[in-house]
Amino acid sequence: MGSTGDFQLLCLENPLLDIQAECDDAMLQKYSLKPNDAILAEESHMPLYDDLLSRKHALIAGGAAQNTARAAQYILPADSVLYIGCVGQDEYAEKLRSACAAAGLRVEYRVDDTQPTGRCGVVITGNNRSLCTHLAAANEYKMEHLKSPKIWDLVQKAKFYYVGGFHLTVCVPAVMALAEEAAAHPEKVFVMNLSAPFIPQFFKQQLEDTSPYWDYVIGNETEAAAWAEAQGGDVKGKSVPEIAMHMAGLKKVNEGRKRTVVITQGTESTVVAVQGEEKVREYPVRTIAKEEIYDTNGAGDAFAGGFVAGIVEGKSLEESVDMGQWLARLSIKELGPQFPSPKQTYSKA
């Protein structure tokens, strides 16, 4: 089954304006940030955004799932991807709308009158990036927006739902509504991304509530290890393939579709576990020369977009992984989670 447009893929998470700047270790130390991490901002982090704006910087339509939505639309036919979330009533929201329109991505934002549009400070040091997110309006997404006649009609028409784990800090009922809608219709697919180590660590129950609905779950090796650590028991401290196998075997609501777990490992092979299979599959990544790497920020989001585009187009698991790796490879040659123009066409490795 190939994509026919008609907004078959619906993505939900936290729309943010990414403020990206190349910095040094002193900036990390100033705000107690780690070189390659993602955290929610506290009061002590608020001056960071002006600090970044005072440097040479780039403003990008961000938020992990919005990056993934742009990435998937980069590959898929026009009018294939729809993104929802919450923004403020300000110029930054207009910048987000303009950037998404340029990428061919349809957005249906809830607009909050009290909070500004969310921001993500991206501190780039070498090939590392540290993300510090002030959710602001992104934290104000409401179930009534999802269930409004216009939006729910779009939900019902979509066949694939992609949710970033970051939204588990915002509106769990909206995540569960999409999960349950997919489970109620066997032809629909629910995809979850672990997003960051703090999600399984500090939002363990919220994540567990979604797990029976995962048709696909995507994460990286650090997120997988954090999930295993939070689970405890026999899975704690296990290898990535063992963790992936354990995740694949969790209880599932829609038993007619086997769960697929996809764990990326940077330059190491992508590990895939399919429910019921006795061993994992491993797919070597596409090689790239070190001097071609400009910015790894958003590489995981790009991989997820390429992978999900493959699933939407009915490609094999192997080809879908390759599509993810191809798009991630393109992304890390750009500043931030962006893709080359003119648009390039996917070809198998």
Residues catalogued as catalytic? 301
Cβ atoms 65, 305 nearer than 8 A: no
With residue 62 as reference, give the H or E element that holds it: strand 57-62
Cβ atoms 164, 64 nearer than 8 A: yes
Number of Cβ within a 10 Å radius of residue 40: 16
Question: What amino acid is encoded at 331 in this protein?
Answer: S
Cβ atoms 78, 326 nearer than 8 A: no
57 phi and psi, to 5 degrees? -140, 170
Facing residues of 195 across strands? none
Distance CA 193, CA 131 (A): 17
Burial class (CB in 10 A: 0-12, 13-18, 19+), 39: middle
Cβ atoms 36, 69 nearer than 8 A: no
Tokens of 138: 């992104």
Q: In what order do the strands lie in the sheet with 160-164?
A: 106-112, 81-88, 9-12, 160-164, 189-193, 216-220, 260-265, 268-274, 281-283
**Residue owning tokens 């999600």:** 199
